[in-house]
Chain A
Amino acid sequence: PGKLLEITDADPVTRTGRVSFGGVVKEVNLACVPEARVGDYVTVHVGFALAVVDEADAALVFEYLREADALAAADRGDGGVAG
């Protein structure tokens, strides 16, 4: 995913923006993400932004890891964190 820095063309069909991928900036078509705002992160394929990354859902990875720890601990018969 890249960070939307600027919207350079606001026409609905040719809507275009500059997106930074860790410092590498590309021109990206935004017609499929009319809701995207400067500062949002977007997922891009072949020059087209197709989704705005949902920050709350992106943070789910940390919850998944906590659940994973609980599954592994239950299997080992551990009660909790303290060894």
Chain B
Amino acid sequence: MKYVDEYRDADGARRLAAAIAAVTTRPWTIMEVCGGQTHAIVRFGLDQLLPDGLALVHGPGCPVCVTPVELIEKALEIAARPEVIFCSFGDMLRVPGAREDLFAVKARGGDVRIVYSPLDALALARQHPDRQVVFFAVGFETTAPANAMAVHQARLQEIGNFSLLVSHVLVPPAIEAILSAPGNRVQGFLAAGHVCMVMGYTEYEPLARAYGVPIVVTGFEPLDILQGILMCVQQLEAGRAEVENQYRRAVTREGNRAALDLIRRVFRVVPRKWRGVGEIPASGLGLTPEYAGFDAETRFGVAHRLVAEDPECLSGLVLQGRRQPTDCPAFGTRCTPARPLGATMVSSEGACAAYYHYRRRGAAAREG
């Protein structure tokens, strides 16, 4: 496929790995933010091409993983209502709440449907005027334009039986939380290319300056990731701390103007709680007053409640790059994608799921 295969070329990967080895003279720790990048790294074994001492740690870039468990509980309550058609991306269905997941609600007769796009949910609202259609709007900045457009169209077309359960999170505050945590060892970042495709990368420049860390906006194919690592290491070796763009074929510094206008009209920045991490100020999106009527939490009046997490689950530490999935005693035994203890084992962008699908045999061989 064009614009995919060129970036998966094995020979190209070896050439970039040789260049990384050539320029690396000291140990460095780099974090890749996006779960999609984590999956590519684990799937293609890119970390195993790197010289000893160059460590990649996985970041919190998995929006499904960081959706607060209290919001999962609210989703379960809304989805169980007979008048509701609850729409979601597929991997949310197995994310565990306190006791169960959306799949369990569906199994008991709840109308829970997997959709590809928020516009599919909006179409259902048009087709079923007697039902309340709710879309679980989970994501980083990448899916915000789509969710904004769905609500914007709902308002223009006066589709009153549609609402969003919003769980949007923002990347720059997450990076700042990691950098400002005591004992942080991350020295450079690969920023999420698709987030920056929407938002641009001006927000990262003050972070690079304030914390003295290089930040390289990076794509998702193997050659993109290796190139991003090379650019990051070159900066670290030279003592530079700038924002650079590896993913130039899709990302500009200013971002997508049409998408930004749409997002700013429909959403505003709010504090958000990140599952396993805690509340990070100004780290999420909520609906603006103009669109607040489409907020599902308000419309359904779902109660606030405190929920305890499974004490064995290390997801929070994995999301902050402080533990690898294979450090967890429950990995692959008490915790699997079919019966996960936490979201990182079930999401398509979760680090634990990536290791489970691509590294399990290696882990078993090391243990056995």
Contact = CB atoms under 8 A, between A and B. Distances in A.
Interface of A: 1, 3, 13-14, 21-22, 29, 31-34, 41, 43, 45-48, 50-51, 53-55, 57-58, 60-61, 64-65, 67-69, 71-72, 74-76
Contacts of B146: 29, 45-48
A71 B249 contact: no
B119 A50 contact: no
A65 B3 CA distance: 16
Nearest to A64: B227
Interface string B210-242: 000000000000010001001000000000000
B142 A50 contact: yes
Contacts of B152: 13
B29 to A, nearest CB: 21
Contacts of A68: 15-16, 18-19, 227, 230
B19 A58 contact: no
B184 interface: no
A18 to B, nearest CB: 15
Contact of B256 (A22, A32, A60, A65): A32
Contacts of A53: 3, 249-250
B40 to A, nearest CB: 15
Interface stretch (B4-12, B170-178, B303-311, B331-339): B4-12
12 contacts: A1-B250, A13-B149, A33-B258, A45-B194, A48-B117, A51-B251, A60-B249, A61-B7, A69-B15, A71-B22, A71-B230, A75-B21
B197 A43 contact: yes
A34 B3 contact: no
B250 A45 contact: no
B330 interface: no
Interface residues of B, number: 42
A43 B153 CA distance: 22
Interface of B: 1-4, 6-7, 12, 15-16, 18-19, 21-23, 89, 116-120, 142-143, 145-146, 149, 152-153, 156, 194, 197-198, 223, 227, 230, 248-251, 256, 258-259, 262
B280 to A, nearest CB: 23
Contact of A45 (B18, B119, B143, B227): B143
B256 A47 contact: no
Say what secondary structure dominates the interface of chain A. Answer: mixed
Contacts of B194: 43, 45, 50
B121 to A, nearest CB: 11
Contact of B142 (A3, A34, A45, A64): A45
Contacts of A67: 19
Contact of B149 (A21, A29, A61): A29
Give the most central of B21, B89, B149: most A CB within 10 Å.
B149
Nearest to B227: A64
A49 B194 CA distance: 11
Given A1-B3, A32-B256, 13 more contacts: A13-B153, A29-B119, A32-B145, A43-B250, A45-B142, A47-B117, A50-B197, A51-B197, A65-B15, A65-B223, A68-B227, A69-B18, A71-B18
A51 B227 CA distance: 21
Contact of A54 (B19, B118, B249): B249
B151 to A, nearest CB: 12
